[in-house]
């Protein structure tokens, strides 16, 4: 559904994406991850024909996004990070307008607008002015807009940004349901959402693709961040300095909770340093309430890949 070959985008002397290549197959839900400034939004804007590339090729449903932009966009629904809506229009009026612009004809307009209002739970606000809606409802209107012409592919750039936990859960369920009938490329910073919804993950960092695999395979393959959680009262000791001296500990984070501290240790690959931590706590006479090995997560993989020089 998506094919990217040697795609590069430069702004003056700055390279936003550097010779990247990847594919997204029909029916996949793929998470497109990376830190701020990694090149995610640039890639999505190029795929959506919002901007040209400096070099390389990209196609959607077999249509080159540069040479056959209109044909490619007919197969694409795009939700940008900041949804551009006409805030003085009513929800139904806006969706009717957008459907017509996207080539939906005659009776089909009413049918499709009705479908996406139902799908995105917009019935309660269908006659309201968009400018009066909450952030969550505006996001739903943007998603309905992306869906109104029934595209094969959805590109969603931070679809849950600014939403509360209940709204995030609703959007997650909606994306899961959409994945039954659409190919989806989604960018988000909420990594647990990716683990629950995506069949594959692409991680981009500093303009280059660093990893592409299922969330499970990435976690199984990169275990350097499987670490240790310690809750202790370290008295006069900082705790961080002493724990960081243990061989195999790469990083120590701490959260203060009154007299108690919660330490999170990032360790070397396939290492279990609980005995060393317990021995240190005994020697330093720390009171320990919890000592446990934490399982590596996609967030750990993300940190490991995007902070490889740490």
Each domain of the chain, given as residue ranges in start order, spans 2-218, 228-294
> pTM for this structure?
0.78
User: Both ends of the chain: CA-CA distance in Å?
Assistant: 36
Task: Give per-residue pLDDT as tens, 93-151.
Answer: 999 999 999 999 988 999 999 999 998 889 999 999 999 998 888 988 999 999 999 99
Distance separating alpha carbons of residues 204 and 11, to the nearest angstrom: 18
Higher pLDDT, 295 or 89: 89
Do 46 and 52 touch, CB atoms closer than 8 A?
A: yes
Cα distance between residue 220 and residue 83, in whole Å: 36
Write down the pLDDT at residue 299.
81
At residue 166, the pLDDT reads: 83
Which tokens sit at 115? 């479908």
Residues 261-278 have a mean pLDDT of 88
pLDDT-based confidence at 304, cuts 50/70/90? confident
What is the biggest distance separating any 2 CA atoms in the chain, rounded to whole angstroms? 79
Residue 290: band (very low, low, confident or very high) from pLDDT cuts 50, 70, 90: very high
Structure confidence at residue 23 (pLDDT)? 95
Question: Exposed e or buried b for every residue in 51-83, given b needs 16+ CB within 10 A?
Answer: eebeebebbbbebebeebeeebbbbbbbbbeeb
**What pLDDT is recorded for position 310?**
46
Is the pLDDT at 223 greater than 70? The verdict is no
Handedness of CA 279, 281, 287, 288 (dihedral sign): negative
Determine the pLDDT at residue 178: 85
Mean pLDDT value across residues 171-194: 85
Predicted pLDDT of residue 266: 83
Of the candidates 72, 82, 136, 116, the one whose C-alpha atom is nearest the C-alpha of residue 126 is 116
* DSSP, residue by residue, 166-178: HHHHHHHHHHHHH
- For residue 75, the model assigns a pLDDT of 93
Q: Is the pLDDT of residue 6 over 90?
A: yes
Looking at mean pLDDT, say which of 9-18, 185-194, 260-269 comes out highest. 9-18
| H-only helix segments in the chain | 40-47, 69-74, 91-101, 107-119, 135-147, 165-178, 191-197, 215-221, 240-244, 274-284, 298-306
On the question of pLDDT at 39 being above 80, the answer is yes
Task: Kindly list the distances between the CA atom of residue 309 and the CA atoms of 132, 250, 303, 305, 306, in Å, as whole numbers in the listed order.
Answer: 46, 11, 11, 9, 8
Q: What pLDDT shows up at residue 267?
A: 83
Name which of 68, 69, 65, 45 is nearest 56 in CA terms. Answer: 65
> How much is the pLDDT for 206?
92
Would you say residue 308 has pLDDT above 60? no
**Rounded to whole angstroms, how far apart are CA atoms 89 and 256?**
49
Q: Is the domain 2-218 a CATH 3.80.30.20 member?
A: no
pLDDT tens, 160-176? 877 788 878 888 888 88
Return the percentage of the chain with pLDDT > 90, whole number.
63
Angle subtended by helix axes 135-147 and 107-119, to nearest 10: 140
Q: Which CATH architecture describes the domain 228-294?
A: 2-Layer Sandwich (3.30)
């Amino acid at each position: 559904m998506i094919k990217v070959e040697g795609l590069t985008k430069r702004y003056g002397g700055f390279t936003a994406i550097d010779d990247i290549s990847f594919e997204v197959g029909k029916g996949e839900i793929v998470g497109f991850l990376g830190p701020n400034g990694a090149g995610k939004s640039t890639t999505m804007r190029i795929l959506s024909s919002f901007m040209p590339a400096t070099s390389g090729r990209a196609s959607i449903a077999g249509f080159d996004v540069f040479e056959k932009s209109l044909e490619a966009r007919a197969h694409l629904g795009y939700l940008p990070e900041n949804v551009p809506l006409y805030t003085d229009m009513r929800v139904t009026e806006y969706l009717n307008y957008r459907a017509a612009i996207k080539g939906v004809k005659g009776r089909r307009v009413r049918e499709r607008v009705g479908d996406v209002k139902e799908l995105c739970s917009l019935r309660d606000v269908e006659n309201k002015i968009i400018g009066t809606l909450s952030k969550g409802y505006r996001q739903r209107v943007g998603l309905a807009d992306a869906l109104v012409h029934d595209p094969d592919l959805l590109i969603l750039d931070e679809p849950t940004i600014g939403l509360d936990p209940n709204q995030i859960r609703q959007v997650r369920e909606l994306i899961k349901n959409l994945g039954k009938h659409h190919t989806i490329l989604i960018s988000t910073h909420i990594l647990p959402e990716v683990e629950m919804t995506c069949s594959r993950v692409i991680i981009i960092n500093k303009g280059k693709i660093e990893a592409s695999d299922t969330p499970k395979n990435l976690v199984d393959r990169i275990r350097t961040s499987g670490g240790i959680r310690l809750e202790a009262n370290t008295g006069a000791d900082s705790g961080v300095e002493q724990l960081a001296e243990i061989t195999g500990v790469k990083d120590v984070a701490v959260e203060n909770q009154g007299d108690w501290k919660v330490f999170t240790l990032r360790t070397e690959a396939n290492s279990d340093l609980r005995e060393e931590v317990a021995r240190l706590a005994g020697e330093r006479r720390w009171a320990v309430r919890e000592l446990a090995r934490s399982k590596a997560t996609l967030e750990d993989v993300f940190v490991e890949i995007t902070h490889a020089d740490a």
